[in-house]
Amino acid sequence: MSNQHQSQFVHRLFSTIASHYDFMNSLLSLNQDNYWRNCLLEKLPLTCSHTVLDVCCGTGKLTAKIASRLGPQGKVVGLDFCQPMLDQAAALLSSHPNREAVELMCGDALALPFADHTFDHVVTAFGLRNLPNVQQPLAEMYRVVRPGGTVLSVELAKPSLPLLKQLYFFYFHHLTPLLGKLKMGRDGFYSWLPESLKAYPDQAEVAEYFKQTGFKQVAFYELTGGITAIHRGIK
């Protein structure tokens, strides 16, 4: 699939599943998705006056968590290229006590609509795997974060423990598409998950991409036996 075709496919996919996304995400991750986002937040050196960009913010779950930690001078921008996902985010955030600190924006992770060094931190949760490559979005995140700022990504990874690895691949290759089909009533949508996972580099390779982009103090942390990993880089 060419980059353009992949982006169009991903856009159509998330436009179609937007209203089911949160439910399916919790179901398929056995309710671990919130825990994984919380782990990312724990690694973010956030103060209440910081500005943060949440790339591929989707339905705004991580954006909302960040907003809860900000004060009157702080700001979080949730960016996604899929308006139906942003509509879900807007609904979630409409009753947020710190709604004023949040801006939702339609935009492309491959060409972020911000000047260089705009944000104190840039984060993304389950975003990188859905993009046509890792290098371009990382370069964009690097560009828009200020020197000394942190970029964090939490994403599905590849466990190495033999039994867990087999269970994990069985789960994602066979059960996930089946559960997706039961919920959506048609084939295909949740086949993207195992396909994208297969194409996505493993955690050590992703760390290499962070280094090649120019990030310093690159580290990754495996969660839940390596099912998920958080990558960190400092500009």
Ligand X SMILES: C[S@@+](CC[C@H](N)C(=O)[O-])C[C@H]1O[C@@H](n2cnc3c(N)ncnc32)[C@H](O)[C@@H]1O
Sheet harboring 51-55: ordered strands across? 102-106, 75-80, 51-55, 119-125, 145-156, 228-234, 216-223
By CB under 6 A, residue 232 contacts ligand X: no
The interface with ligand X within residues 133-192 (CB under 6 A) comprises: none
Helix ranges, the chain (H): 3-17, 21-28, 33-42, 61-68, 83-93, 135-144, 162-170, 176-184, 192-199, 203-213
Q: Which of residues 60-99 bind ligand X (CB under 6 A)?
A: 61-62, 80-82, 85
Residue 171 C-alpha from the chain's centroid: 21
Shortest Å, Cβ 163 to ligand X: 27
Q: Mask: binding to ligand X, 187-226, rule CB under 6 A, as x and -?
A: ----------------------------------------
Among 57, 64, 101, 157, binds ligand X (CB under 6 A): 57
**Binding residue for ligand X (CB under 6 A) from 87, 108, 195, 208?**
108
CB 33, min distance to ligand X, A: 7
- DSSP states along 10-54: HHHHHHHHTTTHHHHHHHHTTT-HHHHHHHHHHT----TT-EEEE
Query: Does 110 interact with ligand X (rule: CB under 6 A)?
Result: yes
Q: Are strands 216-223 and 119-125 parallel, antiparallel or unpaired?
A: unpaired
Least Å distance between CB 14 and ligand X? 4
Binding site for ligand X (CB under 6 A): 7, 10, 14, 25, 37, 56-58, 61-62, 80-82, 85, 108-110, 125-127, 130-131
